[in-house]
Amino acid sequence: MPEWDDYEATLPPPAYGKTWELKEVFTIMHVREAVRTIDDKKISARLVYDESRLNTARLPVVWSSANHWHRGSMYGTVGFHFKWEELIAGKNFYWIEAIEAYNPTAFRILICDPALTPPPAASTPYDPHRDKGPLRFWNGTWYWNGTYTSEFMYADDLSLERLSGFSFFKHHDTLCRYEGSACGERAQHQSKTGAIILAHVLACQRRSKILPRGGAKVGHLWRAHETAGRA
């Protein structure tokens, strides 16, 4: 039995279940990194260093997720949003793993160009049209299992020309993945984060066109999860 069967998104979606429509994913980061990303006009792919099967592969990725968190994110306060169908158009999917040490469990799926040969650690093809895992395509609509932490690993840089919007999130009040107790954003209100980022975006407008098509959305926290993914 494939590993992903344990995390199946039930179809058709139950009326009160946890199978949710997937329209958008986002990457979260701290303000300093977000400013640098805006200057670079892209989210740069990076190597994986955690407990993932990819931590020995030289494959840089951009992390994205569909999850939102009630207590805030451990990974930052600025969300870069992308339309799901535009992001995955013409791409292949590969199953990486499920990290059960996370609460809830995190499932990880690699998204890459057909010309890319995935590393052995992520060489199991995943077909959302056929496979009964946490990501599924049914009757013209994408779905995911919202009871788990979704981690979609995009094997390329993401240009901000593809950006659909920003969100400004509450940081987790006690946990920060990167700076621990030294993180100054743990007590920072979303309005301050938004003011910093939007001021920088507007300043950059004089030099380039990177304002997201969907605009900026402040405090977009409508799905509650007690964990945080990379995104």
What pLDDT, in 10s, does the model give residues 44-99?
Answer: 999 998 899 999 898 999 999 999 888 888 889 999 999 999 999 999 999 999 99
Q: What is the mean pLDDT of the chain?
A: 87
Confidence of residue 213 (pLDDT cuts 50, 70, 90): low
Domain ranges of the chain: 3-218
Confidence of residue 223 (pLDDT cuts 50, 70, 90): very low
Other Cβ atoms within 10 Å of 31 Cβ, number: 19
Q: Which of 163, 164, 183 is nearest to 175 (CA)?
A: 183
Residue 220 is predicted with a pLDDT of 39
| Angle 167-173-174 from CA coordinates, rounded to 5° | 135
Give the 3-state secondary structure of residue 167. strand
Sign of CA dihedral 54, 49, 68, 65: negative
Residue 209 is predicted with a pLDDT of 54
Other Cβ atoms within 10 Å of 187 Cβ, number: 9
Q: Please give the average per-residue pLDDT across 187-202, as a whole number.
A: 87
Of 8-17, 59-68, 104-113, 133-142, the range with the lowest mean pLDDT is 8-17
Other Cβ atoms within 10 Å of 28 Cβ, number: 27
